[in-house]
Amino acid sequence: MDSSSSQSANPSDKYSHRLADIVGTAIALLTLTLPIWVIGHYSSSTPTLVQPINPRQRDVEQLADAS
């Protein structure tokens, strides 16, 4: 049996794997939270409501204004 296969991983390999896990987690968190934050930051605080104008109502108002 080969003695090198029974030994644990090299400490620098463990460090690089741990670093990759941390960087991957940070990227995942940014990917999930950054879009929500940007939408919340750039959206207006008070929504503007646009009321549709009924064409008949507009015509009635124009006729009333003309008389």
With a threshold of 0.75, does the pTM exceed it?
no
Residues 32-46 as b/e (b if ≥16 CB within 10 A, e otherwise) read: eeeeeeeeeeeeeee
Instruction: Lowest mean pLDDT of 32-36, 42-46, 60-64, name the range.
Output: 60-64
| pLDDT top residue among 5 and 59 | 59
pLDDT tens digit sequence for 18-27: 999 999 999 9
**Confidence check: pLDDT of 1 > 50:** no
